[in-house]
Amino acid sequence: MRNKNIDKKQWIEALPCWQGKVEAQPLAGGITNVNFTVEDSGCKYVARLCEDIPVHQVKQFNVISASRAAHAIGVSPEVVYSEPGVLVIRYIEGNTFAEADVQKPENLQQIVTLLSHFHTEMPKHLRGAALVFWVFQILRDYAHTLKEGRSRHLNKLPRLMKVAEILEKTLGPIDLVFGHNDLLAANIIDDGKKLWLIDFDYAGFNSPLFDLANLSSNNQLSQNQENWMLETYYRCPPTDNLWQAYYVMKCASILRETLWSMVSELHSAIDFDYSQYSAKNLEHFDQTFEKLHTEFNLS
């Protein structure tokens, strides 16, 4: 039987971008892609095995384009090599954030400033076609994927998709920026001087509210922190309408993470407890939607 891990390691070590003989070391932590670190001629790199993932609407042309644009605006490491299925970037020496790091006021200030810069500057450096990350269409597609795969969660889908329909109708018009759309703490690195963003699998044009809500939902921000975040980003106190739109996107963000995990239960080969992750996110979604429903009389 073929050892897939050895195959992947050998693939990385045989890439033509290296100046000498290298040894790839597995990099733990990813729940979408397989990653390695490589040292070559005194420099360190991260090599990602990152083929298209149709069930998650991930397209590598978009990942590479976003990675290069993010480097151009100074928020992400340089792309040094790519070929179908592989992306090599420079390694950033620093602290990979955990939720507690995101919650610190001094870090949250930097993150909001970073996101504002990212949202406005990225379109100026993107080349070629770019994707749109419309969370409600993604939810619809995930529902189809779960039905086709005879997911154990099929009995939950009618209620969840009905709620998604209500959320989309409630949201109303949006501003359009280029978003990261996957603001897990581990996608932020502090090198001691500045913050960096990494992993652009889900990057695409979207409402800025999705990134803000996604940042909060993934990192357990308090309501006071959310209020500060919205006021800082928009440079004025949030109105009731903004709060409602924000909570709609927060619900949508958590529901997307829930269905993402349910789909990953069916299709991912990565060693990760997606079942537990699905249950955790579903509970979080139900709590957040109940708050939205109660505070804004959502019908």
**Contact by Cβ (8 Å): 122, 129:** no
What pLDDT shows up at residue 249? 97
Burial group, residue 40, by CB count within 10 angstroms (0-12, 13-18, 19+): middle
Q: What is the DSSP letter of 149?
A: T
Domain boundary among 60, 90, 120: 90
Domain boundary among 90, 108, 143: 90
Burial group, residue 221, by CB count within 10 angstroms (0-12, 13-18, 19+): buried
**One domain, residues 76 and 123:** no
What is the mean pLDDT of the segment spanning 210-229? 97
Look up tokens 């990760």; give the residue.
Answer: 272
Domain boundary among 65, 90, 115: 90
What is the mean pLDDT of the segment spanning 225-239? 97
The model carries a pTM of: 0.93
Asked if pLDDT for residue 1 goes beyond 60, the answer is: no
Which CATH number is 160's domain given?
3.90.1200.10
- Calculate the dihedral angle through the C-alpha atoms of 251, 257, 260, 264, rounding to the nearest 10 degrees: -150
pLDDT digits (tens, 9 = 90+) for 240-266: 999 999 999 999 999 999 999 999 999
* Residue 234: other Cβ atoms inside 10 A: 16
**One domain, residues 29 and 138:** no
pLDDT digits (tens, 9 = 90+) for 265-295: 999 988 899 999 999 999 999 999 999 989 8
**Contact by Cβ (8 Å): 49, 33:** yes
**One domain, residues 64 and 101:** no
**Contact by Cβ (8 Å): 67, 79:** yes
What pLDDT shows up at residue 254? 98
**One domain, residues 287 and 219:** yes
The two tokens of residue 238 are: 């949030």
What pLDDT shows up at residue 298? 75
- In Å, what is the CA distance from 95 to each residue of 32, 50, 91, 183, 194? 21, 23, 12, 16, 11
**One domain, residues 55 and 178:** no
| Alpha helices, H only, the chain | 4-13, 60-72, 99-103, 105-121, 135-148, 157-171, 208-219, 223-234, 240-267, 274-296
Phi then psi dihedrals of residue 80, to 5 deg = -105, -20
- Calculate the dihedral angle through the C-alpha atoms of 225, 228, 231, 234, rounding to the nearest 10 degrees: -60
Asked if pLDDT for residue 38 goes beyond 50, the answer is: yes
Q: Which one-letter amino acid corresponds to residue 190? A: D
What pLDDT shows up at residue 6? 54
Give the total number of structural domains in the chain: 2
What pLDDT shows up at residue 203? 98
Which CATH number is 31's domain given?
3.30.200.20
The two tokens of residue 111 are: 């993150």
Between helices 208-219 and 240-267, what is the axis angle to 10°? 70
Range of the domain at 30: 4-90
**Contact by Cβ (8 Å): 290, 251:** no
